[in-house]
């Protein structure tokens, strides 16, 4: 368990790699999730926590562990919405939480479903703060994957989640 100045963190070793879960300032929701790899290294040292940590981190870790054993397991963890998030981004992110595990949807179909232009949906997908809990890995483009710009490399969290769920290609 690690805590920095304004937020709480939990490191979790998983088959996907080491995940960093971040709770919001109030400790009531998950504000971020990232995978440690050579393309997105964390600082070598973070200040150690000086005591308790938000219960939301324990609940998230339990549910994520269950999901990693069974990709169909539900994930019901509160997610913090960053300041400055648009109504359109919220609409896209909320729609992601209703996508069933192990199934893919095309970006165009998702755009139609939420009533937004494709580019707006793609932009919202690029800014998903908690990718496992807002499963953008279930959204595919014509070429197969839709990845945020920051994850356009092998071994990304999005790719690992797609592999874990065995997300099929779109017909």
- CATH number of the domain within which 128 lies: 1.10.10.10
14 by Cβ neighbours in 10 Å (0-12 / 13-18 / 19+) ranks as middle
Are both 96 and 122 inside the same structural domain?
yes
Are both 50 and 95 inside the same structural domain?
no
Residue 116 is predicted with a pLDDT of 97
Are both 92 and 129 inside the same structural domain?
yes
Q: Domain range holding 48?
A: 2-69
* Cβ pair 9, 46 in contact under 8 A: yes
Mapping DSSP to helix (H, G, I), strand (E, B) and coil, where does residue 9 land? strand
Are both 108 and 148 inside the same structural domain?
yes
Asked if residue 104 has pLDDT above 60, the reply is: yes
Asked if residue 79 has pLDDT above 90, the reply is: yes
Structural domain contains residue 171: no
N-term to C-term CA, the chain? 43
What percent of the chain shows pLDDT beyond 70?
Answer: 76
Domain count, the chain: 2
Structural domain contains residue 93: yes
Are both 105 and 62 inside the same structural domain?
no
Asked if residue 47 has pLDDT above 70, the reply is: no
Structural domain contains residue 132: yes
Are both 150 and 104 inside the same structural domain?
yes
Encode 27-38: b = buried (16+ Cβ within 10 Å), e = exposed: eebbbbbbbebe
Structural domain contains residue 37: yes
Encode 58-80: b = buried (16+ Cβ within 10 Å), e = exposed: eebbebbeebbeeeeeebebebb
Structural domain contains residue 80: no
Are both 58 and 91 inside the same structural domain?
no
Domain final residue pick, 69, 101, 128: 69
How many Cα atoms within 13 Å fall on the side-chain side of residue 111? 15
| More confident call, 83 vs 40 | 83
Are both 59 and 93 inside the same structural domain?
no
* Cβ pair 50, 143 in contact under 8 A: no
Give me the chain's average pLDDT, please: 81
- Residues 67 and 73: their CA atoms lie apart, in Å, by 5
Are both 143 and 93 inside the same structural domain?
yes
| More confident call, 50 vs 103 | 103
Are both 92 and 153 inside the same structural domain?
yes
């Amino acid at each position: 368990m690690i805590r920095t100045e304004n937020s709480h963190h939990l490191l979790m070793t998983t088959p996907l790699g080491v995940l960093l879960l971040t709770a919001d300032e109030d400790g009531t929701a998950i504000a971020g999730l990232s995978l440690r790899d050579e393309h997105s290294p964390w600082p070598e040292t973070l200040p150690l926590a000086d005591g308790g940590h938000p219960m939301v981190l324990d609940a998230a870790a339990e549910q994520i562990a269950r999901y990693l054993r069974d990709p169909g397991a539900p994930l019901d963890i509160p997610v913090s919405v960053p300041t400055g998030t648009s109504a359109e981004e919220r609409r896209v992110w909320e729609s992601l939480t209703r996508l069933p595990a192990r199934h893919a949807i095309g970006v165009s179909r998702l755009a139609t479903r939420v009533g937004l232009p494709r580019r707006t949906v793609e932009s919202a997908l690029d800014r998903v703060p908690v990718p496992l809990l807002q499963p953008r890995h279930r959204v595919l483009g014509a070429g197969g994957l839709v990845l945020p710009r920051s994850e356009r490399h092998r071994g990304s969290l999005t790719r690992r989640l797609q592999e874990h769920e065995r997300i099929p290609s779109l017909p």
